């Protein structure tokens, strides 16, 4: 089904000539039929990054074998120039076969002036007169032009290249038969005729093919080739071009340092705003529109409502990773669009959390969530900090976290335990609790298969889990300290005790309760703060009473209850901030943040 969907997408969206794909070239060889000498010039972009020009050029799958591309190829093929990474015998074979391919094209097109001029370029040994540019490498691409026109655009070249690929890829094992993709009878490929550029697939060492059986160990009955996977040439080309088009589109989600890329498309008439809620950066207004449209109080009614407006449309997505010259399909989704839209609505509903600066719960984009799984680097002066950038090894992120989050968002499957363990570990290591990390914990604790979420987006007075209550007490003790001493503390109560309290908060809270006596006394001595002191003391007494009435904590907390402690802490801090705004008339942008304030 995946191959059929890719072929269908290519038929509707791709206009690239057969067996062509976008490639990068950094050199251009110009030839003339009017006696001007051949010239090799650089066509790198003038941006200082040494990037070349990307051009749609003939391309067929090649892994370890020698296989020249027609009209444009690497320096080792066009000129026979190797480097320290190549073997001289192989480079000679590459160049010899490229020249032979040019000669066969010229034989097939006696009236094509460009083909004949390019053949004479090699027959007259003009290529030996070209000076090799300093610093060039064997695999840098070369475009060839005759009288200013690129030869890859010649109609005779496109026709000959199509026949050449059919000759190469037909092989001895495939022959003629029925294609499993389109169901029509025709010539079958022995190997996929088109590849996907390695830059589009994380982990790929070379350009990659979606289907590859080039070693007997991979094939049915220890055979090579696609004899047991019959695919015609048209479909074989469409699979590669369709996948390349998708991975190069705005619908591809790829973050540095992650092991996969996800791309999606839809079948049918779809409103654009539905999937603008699924990019790297979430649009709060569009998220709210999706929630209001789909969320109706219970799963059954919401699903029925979603199905009523898009019953015939489908959503497709594929998540890919690379391994040498092969593509690994890590996930494949082909589902009714209403189901996916409803699942995304639940994803955002389960993610929303209150923040230190806003009363209403907010949701986050994929980029924010992946960023928050990395290491937090505080500024040296203690004024805030930042997360280590995505893709940096210093961030210590799991390379599969993007894939796990997307499966939760699109499939509605629970997050794997590894995500919860990792986020809790990072919080304990960094001492950083903010809204994106709280959203990750809430996603991990809420089971998408249940009708009601287990964890509320904000303060839950009905949550009597002892770990959650201890988190609330810990946060409230911090608020009392800040009220007593201000925000310019060198070392706060949280700095001293938070890391240990996540595993077992009993001793930390006991110490904090003793310290709170002096903090409250200091607040009470200020006549302007007596109302605040009473409010803080009453809240603390109420929370302590709830803890005394609950089951005691014995030993080290399991990770799920550690997450409850963190959420209780985050919810109580947000509630205390809301009360400060209410009682003191402060605007959200006027609050004085502490070291763990929300971004």
Determine the pLDDT at residue 190.
83
Determine the pLDDT at residue 152.
95
Distance set, CA 506 to CA 133, 426, 470, 498 (Å): 70, 21, 8, 11
Owner of token pair 């968002």 = 409
Summary mean pLDDT of the chain: 86
**Counting runs of H as helices and runs of E as strands, what totals does the chain give?**
18, 15
Determine the pLDDT at residue 25.
95
Query: Do residues 533 and 570 both lie within one domain?
Result: yes
Determine the pLDDT at residue 580.
78
Query: Do residues 201 and 344 both lie within one domain?
Result: no
CA distance 129 to 125: 8
Distance set, CA 247 to CA 8, 102, 195, 320, 366 (Å): 16, 32, 12, 10, 18
Determine the pLDDT at residue 358.
82
Average pLDDT of span 46-54: 81
Q: Note whether 310 and 337 are within 8 A (CB).
A: yes
Residue 599 lies in a domain: no
CA distance 186 to 469: 69
| Residue 229 pLDDT exceeds 90 | no
Determine the pLDDT at residue 587.
43
Q: For residue 63, what pLDDT band results from cuts at 50, 70 and 90?
A: low
| Residue 272 pLDDT exceeds 70 | no
Prediction pTM value = 0.78
Which residues have C-beta within 8 Å of that of residue 98, sequence separation ≥ 6? 68, 73, 77, 78
| Residue 300 pLDDT exceeds 90 | no
Is residue 31 packed enough to be buried (19+ CB in 10 Å), middle (13-18) or exposed (0-12)? buried
Q: Closest Cα partner for 237 from 72, 57, 73, 16?
A: 16
**pLDDT tens digits, one per residue of 170-211:** 755 557 889 999 998 888 888 888 888 889 999 998 888 888
Query: Do residues 189 and 97 both lie within one domain?
Result: yes
| Residue 123 pLDDT exceeds 50 | yes
Query: Do residues 433 and 392 both lie within one domain?
Result: yes
Positive or negative, the CA dihedral 427, 430, 431, 437 is: negative
Q: For residue 284, what pLDDT band results from cuts at 50, 70 and 90?
A: low
Determine the pLDDT at residue 555.
85
Residue 450 lies in a domain: no
Residue 595 lies in a domain: no
The total of structural domains in the chain comes to: 3
Residue 19 lies in a domain: yes
Least confident among 161-170, 259-268, 351-360, 465-474: 161-170
Backbone torsions φ then ψ of 177, nearest 5 degrees: -175, -165
Q: Note whether 152 and 141 are within 8 A (CB).
A: no
Report which secondary-structure segment, H or E, holds 320.
strand 314-336
Determine the pLDDT at residue 3.
94
Query: Do residues 198 and 80 both lie within one domain?
Result: yes
CA distance 535 to 442: 29
Residue 202 lies in a domain: yes
User: Bridge-partner residues for 29, per DSSP?
Assistant: 40, 144
Query: Do residues 85 and 192 both lie within one domain?
Result: yes
What is the maximum span of the chain, computed from C-alpha positions, in angstroms?
A: 102
Least confident among 37-46, 125-134, 304-313, 533-542: 304-313
CA distance 378 to 384: 6
3-state secondary structure of 21: strand
Query: Do residues 472 and 341 both lie within one domain?
Result: no
| Residue 588 pLDDT exceeds 50 | no
Q: Return the percentage of the chain with pLDDT > 90, whole number.
A: 54
Q: For residue 290, what pLDDT band results from cuts at 50, 70 and 90?
A: low
| Residue 381 pLDDT exceeds 60 | yes
Q: For residue 315, what pLDDT band results from cuts at 50, 70 and 90?
A: confident
Query: Do residues 441 and 535 both lie within one domain?
Result: no
**pLDDT tens digits, one per residue of 84-112:** 999 999 999 999 999 999 999 999 999 99
Residue 253 lies in a domain: no
Distance set, CA 524 to CA 531, 532, 537, 573, 577 (Å): 9, 9, 10, 21, 20
Owner of token pair 């998540």 = 319
Average pLDDT of span 441-462: 91
Query: Do residues 269 and 211 both lie within one domain?
Result: no
Residue 460 lies in a domain: no
Q: For residue 591, what pLDDT band results from cuts at 50, 70 and 90?
A: very low
CA distance 278 to 252: 11
> What is the DSSP annotation of 97-136?
HHHHHHHHHHHH-TT-HHHHHHHHHHHTTGGGGSPPPTT-
Q: Return the percentage of the chain with pLDDT > 70, whole number.
A: 88
Structure tokens at 415: 């997050």
Query: Do residues 35 and 127 both lie within one domain?
Result: yes
Which residues have C-beta within 8 Å of that of residue 217, sequence separation ≥ 6? none
Determine the pLDDT at residue 520.
94
The domain in which residue 520 lies consists of: 466-590
Q: For residue 449, what pLDDT band results from cuts at 50, 70 and 90?
A: confident
CA distance 85 to 513: 67
User: Could you tell me how many residues make up the chain?
Assistant: 599
**pLDDT tens digits, one per residue of 476-525:** 999 999 889 887 777 889 989 999 999 999 999 999 999 999 999 999 99
| Residue 594 pLDDT exceeds 50 | no
Determine the pLDDT at residue 382.
66
Determine the pLDDT at residue 296.
47
Determine the pLDDT at residue 595.
43
Query: Do residues 300 and 215 both lie within one domain?
Result: no
| Residue 236 pLDDT exceeds 90 | no
Query: Do residues 555 and 409 both lie within one domain?
Result: no
Residue 313 lies in a domain: yes
| Residue 270 pLDDT exceeds 70 | no
Q: Which residue stretches of 276-396 are H helix?
A: 284-294, 299-310, 337-351, 366-372
């Amino acid at each position: 089904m995946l191959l059929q969907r890719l072929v269908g997408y290519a038929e509707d969206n791709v206009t690239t000539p057969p067996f062509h794909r976008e490639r990068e070239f950094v050199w251009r060889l110009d030839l003339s039929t009017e006696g001007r000498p051949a010239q090799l010039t650089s066509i790198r972009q003038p941006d200082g990054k040494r990037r070349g020009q990307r051009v749609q050029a003939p391309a067929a799958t090649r892994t370890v074998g020698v296989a020249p591309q027609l009209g444009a190829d690497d320096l080792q093929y066009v000129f026979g120039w190797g480097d320290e990474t190549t073997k001289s015998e192989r480079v000679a074979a590459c160049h010899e076969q490229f020249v032979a391919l040019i000669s066969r094209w010229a034989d097939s097109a006696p009236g094509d002036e460009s083909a004949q001029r390019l053949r004479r370029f090699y027959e007259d040994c003009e290529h030996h007169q070209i000076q090799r540019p300093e610093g060039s490498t064997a695999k840098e691409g070369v475009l060839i032009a005759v009288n200013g026109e690129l030869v890859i655009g010649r109609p005779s070249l496109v026709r000959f290249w199509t026949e050449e690929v059919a000759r190469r890829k037909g092989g001895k094992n495939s022959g003629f038969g029925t294609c499993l993709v389109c169901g029509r009878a025709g010539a079958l490929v022995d190997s996929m005729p088109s590849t996907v550029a390695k830059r589009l697939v994380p982990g790929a060492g070379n350009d990659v093919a979606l289907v590859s059986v080039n070693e007997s160990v991979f094939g049915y009955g220890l055979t090579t080739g696609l004899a047991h996977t019959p695919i015609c040439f048209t479909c074989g080309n469409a699979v590669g071009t369709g996948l390349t088009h998708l991975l190069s589109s705005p619908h591809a989600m790829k973050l540095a340092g992650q092991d996969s890329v996800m791309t999606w498309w839809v079948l049918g008439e779809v409103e654009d705003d539905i999937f603008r809620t699924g990019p790297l950066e979430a649009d709060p207004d569009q998220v709210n529109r999706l929630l209001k449209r789909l969320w109706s109080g219970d799963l059954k009614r919401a699903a029925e409502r979603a199905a009523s407006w898009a019953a015939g449309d489908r959503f497709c997505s594929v998540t890919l990773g690379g391994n040498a010259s092969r593509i690994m399909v890590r996930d494949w989704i082909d589902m009714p669009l209403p189901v996916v839209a409803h699942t995304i609505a639940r994803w955002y509903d389960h993610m929303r959390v209150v923040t230190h600066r806003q009363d209403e719960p907010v949701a986050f984009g994929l980029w924010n969530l992946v960023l928050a799984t990395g290491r937090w680097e505080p500024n040296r002066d203690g004024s805030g900090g930042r997360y280590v950038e995505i893709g940096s090894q210093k961030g210590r992120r799991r390379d599969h976290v993007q894939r796990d989050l997307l499966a939760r968002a699109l499939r509605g499957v629970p997050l794997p335990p590894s995500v919860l363990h990792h986020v809790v570990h990072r919080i304990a290591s960094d001492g950083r609790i903010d809204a994106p990390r709280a959203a990750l914990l809430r996603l991990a604790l809420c089971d998408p298969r249940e009708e009601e979420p287990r964890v509320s987006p904000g303060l839950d007075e009905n949550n009597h889990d002892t770990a959650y209550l201890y988190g609330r007490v810990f946060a409230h003790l911090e608020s009392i300290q800040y009220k007593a001493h201000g925000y310019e503390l060198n070392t706060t109560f949280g700095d001293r005790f938070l890391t240990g309290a996540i595993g077992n908060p009993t001793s930390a809270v006991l110490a904090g309760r003793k310290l709170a006596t002096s903090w409250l006394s200091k607040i009470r001595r200020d006549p302007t703060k007596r109302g605040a002191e009473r409010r803080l003391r009453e809240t603390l007494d109420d929370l302590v009473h709830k803890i005394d009435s609950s089951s005691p904590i014995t030993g080290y907390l399991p990770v799920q209850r550690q997450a409850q402690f963190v959420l209780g802490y985050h919810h109580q801090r947000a509630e205390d901030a809301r009360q400060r705004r209410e009682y003191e008339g402060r605007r959200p942008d006027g609050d004085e943040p502490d070291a763990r304030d929300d971004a």
